[in-house]
Structure 1
Amino acid sequence: MDWDIVTAGDTHAVARRLAHVLDGCYAPLHDRAQRVLVKQDEQELVIDVSPLQGSTIEEDVALRDFTVNAMAVPLTEAVSAVATDVPLTPILIDPLHGEQDLRTGTLRATSASALEYDPLRILRAVRFMTYYAFTLDPTTVTLIEQAVPRLAQVASERIHEELYAILRPAGATERLYCLDQLHVLTALLPELDVARGMLQPVLHHWDVFDHSLRTVFMLEALGTTLQQTPEEIAQSPFDIGGQGDLLALKELLLEAEEQHIFSFATLLSPQMKLAALLHDIGKPPTHAVDEEGNITFYHHPQAGVPLIRTIAKRLSISTHDGRLMQQVAAHHMRPGQLSQDPVTPRAIRRYFMDLGPNGIYVALVALADHLAMRGPEPLTIHWQRHRGTVRLLLTCYIRERDSILPPRLIQADELMRRYHLEPGPLIGQLLEAIAEAQAEGVVHSREDIFWFAEEKLHQLQSTGEK
């Protein structure tokens, strides 16, 4: 249980005293509010100490966000009641009838100005609905819709924290639709708005907007399925056609966890769900219809990368998470494309040279993308091929990584010194060519590499001059 303490006294002094008595840690939040952290067995007790707003506690709670948070009890009586397991109701200070709303599961704003005062409370409302199964009362819905434009005034770091909290638990797609119904989703991600109603080629059941949200649902469903028992996996609709692909994928992913190159927690993390949501963000700007009426989205994976870069900056998404999202957007089509022809060792090597261990996550999003494409329509042989290709990709990387990606025998700086080269794309092309030659057994030693590099360099430079 976390505690929020309001005092008319010195918050610094109160917090320091609590930390001393409870053997906790004192952590100032800002000029006025203070925090005390107390370790209790395996858990952590959080006590926030804030100054009284207004002249009375009734005035203070009236300034809170929602009525269920606008209740208080005198601290001494509260501690005594908790210690003796006595109900708090007789001593409850509840001027806005928050207890009644708590009993009925109603989330109600404390006042008409509560959401205008801090528009982040809009996202907090959806989070409370997520964690506590609250239902918004109609007046609060109206207040949220009116306050949405003010979200632009909220610090991006605060929005990022709340958005990740909303996406973290299972059932993220339902909450994304809730955000959309409140006109919040496209306020945060205006790039998605134009995707609404944008039709796709005939194999797609949903428009671009709904497909994007359904991909999050399918990522959760696939990630959950891959952690089930063999008997449950065999009953999954994703296991159509048998072939043991799903069970094999589960075993591969468990091995990858042991190698610390993958985790199911990351697969179902907020950043991966956001990556799944934005995987087709490049479709709207590349949408076209040819003379025969065929819908196309040529080069949409590449077009999505700068858009995600912009979104990541706007939402204060970390460099690590932003890079993963960009990789998903740029490469989510590759596993499906590989499934159309026999997969060569070179194609597998290039895939993981480009993506490294993140190629595992990209491949799984690609499967979720395929499932979301079909909607309620039955899966076909194309799903089986796609699934089998991902199994092959993961098998090669998780179990045969040394053979497809042998250790590099030479570094970029050595090539630059030996051949008097400047940093640039040519160095990357040269290193990639050497890596492929090494994996194919064309070169075996540093001497072989120098011979190969000189010949390849001449070839690349000649091509560049043309």
Structure 2
Amino acid sequence: MSAPADTSAGAPDPLAVAREALAGTRTWLVGGAVRDRLLDRVTKDLDLAVDGDVEAAARGLGRAARAAVFPLSEAFGAWRVVAREGAWQADLAPLTGATIEQDLAQRDFTVNAIAEPLAGGDPIDPTGGAADLAARRLRMVSPGAFSADPVRVMRLPRFASELGLEVEVGTLAAARLDAPRLREVAQERVFAELRRVVGAPDPLHGLELMGQLGATAAVLPELDALRGVEQSAYHHLDVHDHTLAVLAETVALEGDPAAVFGPERGERLRELLAQPFSDELSRGTALRFGALLHDIAKPQTRGVMESGRVTFFDHDAQGAELTREILTRLRTSEKLRAHVAALARHHLRLGFLVHERPLTRRDEHRYLRRTTPVEVDVTLLSVADRLATRGRKSDEAIAKHLDLARELIGPALAWESGERPLPLIRGDELADALEIPRGPRLGTLLAELEAAQYAGEVSTREQAVEHARAALAAAGDGE
């Protein structure tokens, strides 16, 4: 079997390295690595099943590749080898049965139950995985596949959305039976699959499958709770379907930001969204989570005024809190929790500014300061949110919103990259010049000076001191 190797320029083929390092060891390339080779997909991950001493095999491969080696699972005896700069990695595990055929019989889906002798030879495919791949079909290896590990229920929508596979009817029914058990397993394992669903080329297909399986109710019940929550006349969808529409617009914007922001800024945005973020997510996928959770508190904040107008007062602030709770439950990093919560907290700010145009430099500074460190990301989220809102007067509202977003995206990109003027005076120097103590009042004055400097109102140290002195006097603190 031949397929493109995932190597950097001049780097050796990891499969060739593994074959040489593990010569004489009964080892098979298994699972996703074989599947992706059959699909002519480039892969950075090798999965190897070893009939023998797994640790010795891993350390031998690590020495040959000059790579890092560490245990992956003490319970299952698995080890991981990671090449320098993450060029590739290999997971080595012992056979889970007496033979490779018995090992494959315990896997999740037939497309992942294909093996190839590392030394070379014909594929071993006892469950018909190659035929299922050719038919674009996702089928369980056995009726007990999901009861053996309920996390496989989440792997179903992940593989379906990542690989564009249609789920076999019996597999769908079997997964549905075990979906409620997703609440019982380690939530970091659940999130590891959820992030792949959300980051897939077609996340809406994966989320739709999660809903059909009952997995959403177990993993993200707050998302299920958005169904049927009606909105104002300015919306054409309930909160659930609006959320999915915002996600769709986010995916489109991630793929082609130039369509909204032009080629130069579009390229900068594309590069920024492709950056690694945390939790094995790109910054773009983190933005997708922001889209998924930005209105998550609308059910608990919904109200109806005497006039009949539907309101969701404070859903941004409460949404930030609920977002943090959800991601904490899913055991994500603090970095991701804070980032996505900030997206929920600030997703309305740009829309409010539409009614305050033309903006002053101080208005611009206030927006950037309040939305830091998500000033770029939340601007994009607001665009996706606005594009997905097509009720009363939507065309006019969208045009105004996009016009303002284009005005602010340049300053936001500059702010994010650190292109800000250096302070004209240090805090201790200002305190001494004004003969005031260090404390909250000094912090307020420094913030005022930053805004004044951004607006072009002061440009020298002397002007900064006099501006601060005037601010003190205006506040009644000049004595």
Structure 2 length as normaliser, TM-score?
0.77
Q: Find the counterpart in structure 2 of residue 33 from structure 1.
A: 78
User: In the aligned structure 2, how far is the partner of 1:440 from the partner of 1:100?
Assistant: 65
- Asked if the contact 2:78/2:94 (under 8 Å) is kept, the reply is yes
CA-CA distance at 1:362 after TM superposition? 1.0
Q: Evaluate the alpha carbon distance shift between residue 64 and residue 224 of structure 1 in structure 2; reply closer, same or farther with a 3 A threshold.
A: closer
User: In the aligned structure 1, how far is the partner of 2:462 from the partner of 2:328?
Assistant: 46
Aligned mate of 1:297, from 293, 296, 312: 312
Q: Find the counterpart in structure 2 of residue 251 from structure 1.
A: 264
Matches within 5 A, 1:183-198: 183-198=214-229
Q: Find the counterpart in structure 2 of residue 354 from structure 1.
A: 370
User: In the aligned structure 1, how far is the partner of 2:56 from the partner of 2:110?
Assistant: 29
Matched, 1:341 2:356: yes
SS at match of 1:293: coil
Q: Find the counterpart in structure 1 of residue 178 from structure 2.
A: 147
Letter in structure 1 aligned against 2:379: A
SS at match of 1:367: helix
Q: Find the counterpart in structure 1 of residue 385 from structure 2.
A: 369
Q: Evaluate the alpha carbon distance shift between residue 415 and residue 302 of structure 1 in structure 2; reply closer, same or farther with a 3 A threshold.
A: farther
CA-CA distance at 1:48 after TM superposition? 3.0
Structure 1 length as normaliser, TM-score?
0.79
SS at match of 1:29: strand
CA-CA distance at 1:148 after TM superposition? 1.8
CA-CA distance at 1:388 after TM superposition? 0.9
User: In the aligned structure 2, how far is the partner of 1:15 from the partner of 1:400?
Assistant: 45
Q: Evaluate the alpha carbon distance shift between residue 292 and residue 99 of structure 1 in structure 2; reply closer, same or farther with a 3 A threshold.
A: same
CA-CA distance at 1:407 after TM superposition? 2.8
Q: Find the counterpart in structure 1 of residue 27 from structure 2.
A: none
User: In the aligned structure 2, how far is the partner of 1:97 from the partner of 1:349?
Assistant: 61
Q: Find the counterpart in structure 1 of residue 436 from structure 2.
A: 419
Matches within 5 A, 1:34-433: 34-37=79-82, 44=87, 46-73=89-116, 75=117, 79-81=119-121, 88=122, 92=124, 94=126, 96-227=127-258, 233=259, 246=260, 249-254=262-267, 262-263=272-273, 269-345=284-360, 346-356=362-372, 358-374=374-390, 380-398=395-413, 406-411=421-426, 419-422=436-439, 428-433=443-448
- Asked if the contact 1:157/1:315 (under 8 Å) is kept, the reply is yes
Aligned length: 423
CA-CA distance at 1:184 after TM superposition? 1.6
Structure 2: 5+ residue stretches without partners: 1-32, 34-44, 277-281
- Identify the structure with bigger relative contact order (alpha carbons < 8 Å, sequence gap 6+): 1
Structure 1: 5+ residue stretches without partners: 82-87, 228-232, 234-245
After alignment, is 294-303 or 148-157 more displaced? Answer: 148-157
- Asked if the contact 2:180/2:214 (under 8 Å) is kept, the reply is no
- Asked if the contact 2:423/2:450 (under 8 Å) is kept, the reply is yes
Letter in structure 2 aligned against 1:29: L
- Asked if the contact 1:415/1:421 (under 8 Å) is kept, the reply is no
- Asked if the contact 1:186/1:193 (under 8 Å) is kept, the reply is yes
User: In the aligned structure 2, how far is the partner of 1:210 from the partner of 1:35?
Assistant: 41
Letter in structure 1 aligned against 2:369: M
Q: Find the counterpart in structure 2 of residue 85 from structure 1.
A: none
CA-CA distance at 1:371 after TM superposition? 0.9
CA-CA distance at 1:265 after TM superposition? 5.3
After alignment, is 390-399 or 271-280 more displaced? Answer: 390-399
Superposition CA RMSD, Å = 3.4
CA-CA distance at 1:79 after TM superposition? 2.5
Q: Evaluate the alpha carbon distance shift between residue 343 and residue 178 of structure 1 in structure 2; reply closer, same or farther with a 3 A threshold.
A: farther
CA-CA distance at 1:401 after TM superposition? 10
Q: Evaluate the alpha carbon distance shift between residue 99 and residue 437 of structure 1 in structure 2; reply closer, same or farther with a 3 A threshold.
A: closer
User: In the aligned structure 2, how far is the partner of 1:46 from the partner of 1:336?
Assistant: 45
User: In the aligned structure 1, how far is the partner of 2:70 from the partner of 2:217?
Assistant: 36
SS at match of 1:339: helix
- Asked if the contact 1:288/1:295 (under 8 Å) is kept, the reply is yes
Q: Find the counterpart in structure 1 of residue 6 from structure 2.
A: none
